[in-house]
């Protein structure tokens, strides 16, 4: 029994070391649970008297990890999506769980912009963030066309990130359908959900970076 307990102690520390290499959060928590259980066994058998301090804390660690595993499994469960939402999720939002995606779509609305209709106007405040689902949007700065946005691109992302008025005018080139979020409500949701915040921040920042690179190329030509 003692030899088995010593082996359990080595396994506990070995699993803790191994956990530093695990990237998937679900597997990380499973490894942490195994390490804690081996540690409980070791601290029960090896000392003359059970090390209750270590045992109790490891039991707490197991309980906390089991709770978070349940949350992860719950958030990864299949959810019902409309065909349009499903298409957006599979093409753009795979970095978040289906449940997380459902959270952001619940506070969004589908908006139809007619050809020639303004979505943002330069130097004006932008109350919404729009994701183009189907259509084309012309981007102009000081009445000069600088870009064209298409399906899967955001409109108003710069204002969303900086909280400043629009730096460009965006106008529907053709009839355009967008998924639209009211900025304030969306930001409040993201503040309550850090993982969502980083996912959306990454998507928006990537588009801003692409726009800046494209702008630099145009200036150099």
Q: What is the pLDDT of residue 214?
A: 59
- The pLDDT, as a whole number, for residue 96 is 86
Domain ranges of the chain: 2-75, 83-220
> What is the predicted pLDDT for the residue at 9?
86
Residue 40 CB coordination number (10 Å): 22
Secondary structure (DSSP) of the chain: -HHHHHHHHHHHHHHHHHHTT--SHHHHHHHHHHHHHHHHHHHHHSSSS--HHHHHHHHHHHHHHHHHHHHHHHHTS-----HHHHHHHHHH-TTS-HHHHHHHHHTEEEEEE-TT-EEE-TTS---EEEEEEES-EEEEETTEEEEEE-TT-EESHHHHHH-S--SSEEEESS-EEEEEEEHHHHHHHHHH-HHHHHHHHHHHHHHHHHHHHHHHHHHH-
CATH class of the domain comprising 83-220: mainly beta
Per-residue pLDDT of the chain (221 residues; tens, 9 = 90+): 768 888 888 898 899 899 888 888 889 999 999 999 999 999 998 888 899 999 999 999 999 999 999 988 887 777 888 999 999 999 999 888 888 999 999 999 999 999 999 999 999 999 999 999 999 999 999 999 999 999 999 999 999 999 999 999 999 999 999 999 999 999 999 999 888 999 999 889 888 887 665 555 544 45
Burial pattern 115-135, b for ≥16 Cβ within 10 A else e, equals eeeebbeeeeebebbbbbbeb
């Amino acid at each position: 029994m003692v030899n088995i307990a010593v082996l359990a102690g080595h396994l506990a520390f070995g699993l803790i070391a191994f956990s530093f290499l695990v990237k998937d959060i679900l597997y990380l928590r499973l490894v942490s649970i195994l390490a804690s259980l081996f540690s409980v066994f070791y601290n029960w058998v090896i000392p003359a008297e059970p090390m209750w301090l270590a045992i109790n804390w490891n039991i707490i660690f197991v309980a906390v990890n089991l709770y978070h595993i349940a949350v992860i499994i719950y958030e990864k469960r299949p959810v019902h999506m409309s065909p349009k939402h499903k298409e957006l999720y599979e093409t753009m939002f795979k970095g978040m769980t289906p449940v997380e995606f459902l959270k952001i779509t619940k506070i969004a609305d589908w908006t139809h912009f007619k050809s020639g209709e303004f979505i943002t106007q330069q130097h004006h405040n932008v109350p919404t963030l729009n994701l183009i689902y189907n259509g084309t949007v012309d981007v102009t700065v000081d009445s000069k066309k600088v870009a064209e946005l298409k399906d899967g691109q955001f409109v108003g992302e710069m204002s969303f990130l900086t909280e400043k008025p629009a730096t460009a005018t965006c106008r529907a080139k053709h009839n355009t359908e967008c998924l639209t979020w009211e900025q304030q409500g969306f930001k409040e949701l993201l503040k309550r959900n850090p993982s969502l915040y980083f996912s959306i921040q990454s998507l928006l920042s990537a588009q801003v970076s692409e726009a800046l690179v494209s702008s630099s190329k145009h200036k150099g030509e």
